[in-house]
Amino acid sequence: MGEKEELLRIKSRLDHSIGQKVRLTAKKGKKKPIVRHGVIEETFPSIFIVKLDNAIEQIPSSSRRVSYSYTDILTKAIEVAPC
């Protein structure tokens, strides 16, 4: 399977997960991975957006959104798993 088909498969899987709670694990070098929880909000042709849980992020009265590319999943820079 080519890289382009794999990226389309990842996007399709995330399209079906919109509104679902997920656990994001970001691998940053040799340090301990960063784990965040949130809800997949939207998907676009190259990126997807996750609204992070405020309680975990300890950001009162604000909603924090992060975006990642499908390539981040393909290269295993992040892992997305259902909660």
3-82 belongs to CATH 1.10.10.10: no
Q: So what's the pLDDT on residue 57?
A: 45
Band (pLDDT 50/70/90 cuts) for residue 58 is: low
- What are the residue boundaries of the structural domains of the chain, listed by start? 3-82
Measured distance CA(15)–CA(72) in Å, rounded: 16
Q: What value does the mean pLDDT take over residues 21-47? A: 91
3-state secondary structure of 68: strand
Q: Is the pLDDT of residue 21 over 90?
A: yes
In the chain the beta strands, taken as DSSP E runs, fall at 21-26, 34-43, 47-52, 64-69, 78-82
Chain Cα centroid distance, residue 40: 7
Q: Is the pLDDT of residue 5 over 60?
A: yes
Q: What is the rounded distance in angstroms from the CA atom of residue 13 to the CA atom of residue 7?
A: 10
